[in-house]
Structure 1
């Protein structure tokens, strides 16, 4: 995140892959049992796969999986075919590829006739392992209505990839996961250090939400 301005994959040197592998390997040693994933900005998805394989990670976050768009860094072309073929070639098919659709910090005018549901269905057809939904920018939550529309339209796991906070997390019922960054930082700013109290409050809310879901499920079974 701090390595701005970002560059697209064609301008991303091998030193980025090397450094990310070193960092992720240290993370793996620190938390050997925690499922971990990696993203290499911007859209350097093959590099992310290589890093994940070398570091023993379980998933990557991929940009531009289906449908081209215009990002801050320039044109992003769809990459599902080359990316999944590369995953097979390096023996990394056990690593999940979670894919952004209608991604934040991007203009989607060239695919304006394809809504978020259509994009999600295309990602599922092109063998994505999970869908990531975001708002318009970092710390901007995605539309709850759009989330539920996608949830009803595909059978893939869905993750919320931006703008999740302790106060809105309960709106995304039935979601499979959250990618949280800014909210865990001091005053919710992505450049700041981790705020342990904010993080603990968020996790307490998640725990309460899980208990409510379990309670409701048990109640339905009993009745």
Structure 2
């Protein structure tokens, strides 16, 4: 049945990359740490993995240096060679073209893109929408097989300029602009999305709806019927802190609940 077909996308938070304020590891160490987390997640039974440079704070607005792109490519290639799951990538902040280029070079399956429609004021400053440019770029480089999942009314951002545009209308705009799926989040990392927002979005669009923050073992059942996929990061780490390594025990606890929820719908 349809409700059993849910996707768990687990995040690998790549260690701070060269040139960023908190960088302290070599490329080999960065790759090794990312691969160790990814293997634990794969062994724990998640459906897909997404790499993200969240340790690179403070983030740049849309543009990142060649050192970041090349380091993320090194991580992506290493994971692709050893992980037998779909893999995606997000490059903060809003470096959607760079993420797409890395995904193509490394053979990844999807990217997470912010500010796809309706630009917003982010931590990094004003971020204009890039749907037209991004999809043209995807066409130009022959990457149309790579899915682009797009945040709407994204966390860590002010949306006062588009306050008169509902989250449902924002989702419709993303669908009209050929998004492969929309991501609904809470107000910050680890904060859960509003149930009412998810209900509105699911009614508004036919493309997949993903939850992008705040999902954990305690609330997964509450959100199970409201989304097609769940992006999970903080709750799978030691102490539920995104800065820590993946905790195999937390992964098992979470995936045991996933299995129970899926089995509810098996005829």
TM bracket, shorter-chain basis:
over 0.9
2:98 equivalent in structure 1: 47
Q: 5 Å matches for 1:172-187? A: 172=223, 173-187=225-239
Q: Does 1:211 align with 2:255?
A: no
The aligned counterpart of 2:48 is none
Separation in 2 of the partners of 1:42 and 1:153? 27
Unaligned runs of 5+ in 1: 219-223
Q: Which residue of 1 aligns with 2:68?
A: 16
Secondary structure of 1:199 counterpart = helix
Answer 1 or 2: higher relative contact order, Cα 8 Å, separation at least 6. Answer: 2
Match in the other structure for 1:3: 56
The partner residue of 1:98 within 127, 144, 149 is 149
- Among 175, 182, 201, which residue is 2:253 paired with? 201
- Runs (4+) of structure 1 moved beyond 6 Å? none
Map 1:1-223 to 2 at 5 A. Answer: 1-10=54-63, 12-31=64-83, 33-172=84-223, 173-214=225-266, 218=267
Query: How far apart, CA to CA, are the structure 2 residues paired with 1:51 and 1:189?
Result: 27
CA distance in 2, matches of 1:123, 1:64: 10
Q: TM-score, normalised by structure 2?
A: 0.78
Alignment RMSD = 0.9
**What is the CA-CA distance between 1:213 and the residue it aligns to?**
2.1
**Whole-Å separation in 2 of the counterparts to 1:46 and 1:78:** 12
1:2-47: CA deviations, max 9, x gaps? 111110123x11111111101100010111x311100000000000
Name the TM-score, length of structure 1 as normaliser.
Answer: 0.94
Give the length in aligned residue pairs. 213
Q: Contact (CA 8 Å) 2:186, 2:213: kept in 1 or not?
A: yes
Whole-angstrom CA distance in 2 between matches of 1:198 and 1:179 = 15
Aligned equivalents of 1:60, 1:208: Cα separation in 2: 29
